[in-house]
Structure 1
Amino acid sequence: MAATIYPPTSPEVAHKRRDLAPDVQAAFEAFGRQVFADGALDTKTKQLIAVAIAHVTQCPYCIEGHTKAAQRAGATAQELMEAVWVAAEMRAGGAYAHAAIMIASLSEEPLR
């Protein structure tokens, strides 16, 4: 990851996280292994979904990690970019859909 405001990942951070809550860390890792295992969806598809969601949640660690995992699972650069475009459309679609709340509020008495 390029130099950013985010601290770099490191073995020391991973060890500290595990030391502070070992049982939770172990459960989280087991959960992740199960979630990304082949099932009704294959691992590559799950990783493409993860890349898309990582862009919506704007997690740089997730973007980097799941991009690499998606590539290891066989995803191409073109598939990854399409996943990001799907995420962008969905995020924009959410703002568009929520305009209904603003439109409904137009008829209400303004707060003073």
Structure 2
Amino acid sequence: MTASIYPEATPELARKRRELAPEVQAAFESFGRQVFSDGALPSKTKQLIAVAVAHVTQCPYCIQGHTRAAQRAGATAEELMEAVWVAAEMRAGAAYAHSAIMISALSGEEPK
């Protein structure tokens, strides 16, 4: 990762997390393995969803990690970009949909 406000994800950082809460860390890792394994949705699809969600949540660690995981699962650059476009549309759509709150406020209506 380039210079930023985010610390680099290092083995030392991962070790420290494990030391501070080993049981929770193990449970989280197990949960992640289960969630991203093949099921009703194949792993590749799950990783593409994760890339899209990571862009909406704007987590650089998640974007990097799930992009790589999606590639390992067979996702193409084109599929990854399409997933990002879906995320962008959903984020824009949410802003548009929430304009209903602003319009209600303009007319003096209270939210229901």
Deviations 1:40-82 (A, max 9, x none): 0000000000000000000000000000000000000000000
**Residues 54-69 of structure 1 aligned to structure 2 (within 5 Å):** 54-69=54-69
Deviations 1:60-109 (A, max 9, x none): 00000000000000000000000000000000000000000111111118
Deviations 1:10-51 (A, max 9, x none): 111001101111111011000000000000000000000000
- The answer as to 2:22 corresponding to 1:14 is no
TM-score, scaled relative to structure 1:
0.95
Q: Which residue of structure 2 aligns with residue 101 of structure 1?
A: 101
Q: How many Å separate the matches in 1 of 2:52 and 2:107? A: 36
SS of the counterpart of 2:98?
helix
> Structure 2: which 5+ residue stretches go unaligned?
none
How many equivalent pairs are there? 109
> Structure 1: which 5+ residue stretches go unaligned?
none
**Residues 1-112 of structure 1 aligned to structure 2 (within 5 Å):** 1-108=1-108
Task: Give the residue type in structure 2 aligned to 1:13.
Answer: L
Aligned-residue sequence identity (percent) comes to 80
Q: Report the Cα offset of residue 3 of structure 1.
A: 2.0
